[in-house]
Amino acid sequence: MSLRHDYTRAEVEALLDLPFNDLLARAHAVHAAHHDANAVQVSTLLSIKTGGCPEDCAYCPQAARYHTGVEAQKLMPLDAVLDRARQAQSAGATRFCMGAAWRSPKDRDVEKVAAMIREVKALGMETCATLGMLTQDQADRFKAAGLDYYNHNLDTAPEFYGEIIHTREFADRLDTLECVRNAGLKTCCGGIVGMGETRAQRAGLLQALANLPEHPQSVPINRLVQVEGTPLAGTAQLDPFEFVRMIAVARILMPASMVRLSAGRAEMSDELQALCFFAGANSIFYGEKLLTTGNPDTERDQALFARLGIMPMQVEVESGTVHADIAEDCREHAAA
């Protein structure tokens, strides 16, 4: 199927409204046509600068204005970041993502992060960063340092965005994504569901993602992790099947993209994750922590992969190609 960037809201809503089994069958067929349906990319995310963010994102425990128990910390030193990258690589991760709780990086911080990117890349891992809004010059400097991906989520539908964030505009996010694309970086861009939005607004998020000038190479679909002290604590939980529908429609609309199970996975059962993999998810964050919230540990993920016959992808960083291989630790679980 050809890639489209002109989806109407009605088209996306119609997909979300399909009978569940029909939607999953369609999504799985698209997934199998574009990807190895039994291979999942494994990434690790490290918070290199935690807390103290001046933004007011209603879901985020790192916002300085909310009392969530997250203390502001300084930027991690290079050696500490490299140590965590080596640990992640030893555990089977092929992409290392670095996140900082900034509205946007200051120029004095750009070179420090660029040094981290260069050294992580030298380990043979793909590199990703999420640092807030970027100027074109900053995006160009990160590209020159060897950055592969830049994460900057749309978060939610344009018409619901003002209910969640007031300290930057939806258009600001689009501007940063344009700078990232202009620099020749790959984009990692998705959103969060379960923030009190309607199904029509979830369709709006998917429409906005699919109609970007280029489909994001990675599309993280986050399920809200409710943190006491944030405005969204106490929000009604999203129906798990509704979450699977989001994965399935993301796969249909953006068939060549990696669709990632991101925040909220710690609260997902193995059965729910298996449904998501069938519906087209083929990327996860791996490790004990996702920025400041929990994540399933590596042993649980390895055991689940073995039960499902899923292979972790391996990345050849020089050529940029991805292929599936079974890591030794997964073989051990399968034999157990």
List the catalytic residues: 53, 57, 60, 97, 128, 188, 260
DSSP classification of residue 223: E
Q: Are 276 and 241 in contact (CB under 8 A)?
A: no
Residues 6+ apart with CB under 8 A from 57: 63, 155, 164, 165, 167
* CA-closest candidate to residue 258, choices 4, 35, 32, 6: 35
Residue 60: exposed, middle, or buried by beta-carbon count in 10 A (0-12, 13-18, 19+)? buried
If you count DSSP H runs as helices and E runs as strands, how many of each does the chain have, helices first?
11, 13
DSSP classification of residue 266: G
| Per-position DSSP letters for 114-153, written without gaps between them | HHHHHHHHHTT-EEEEE-S---HHHHHHHHHHT--EEE--
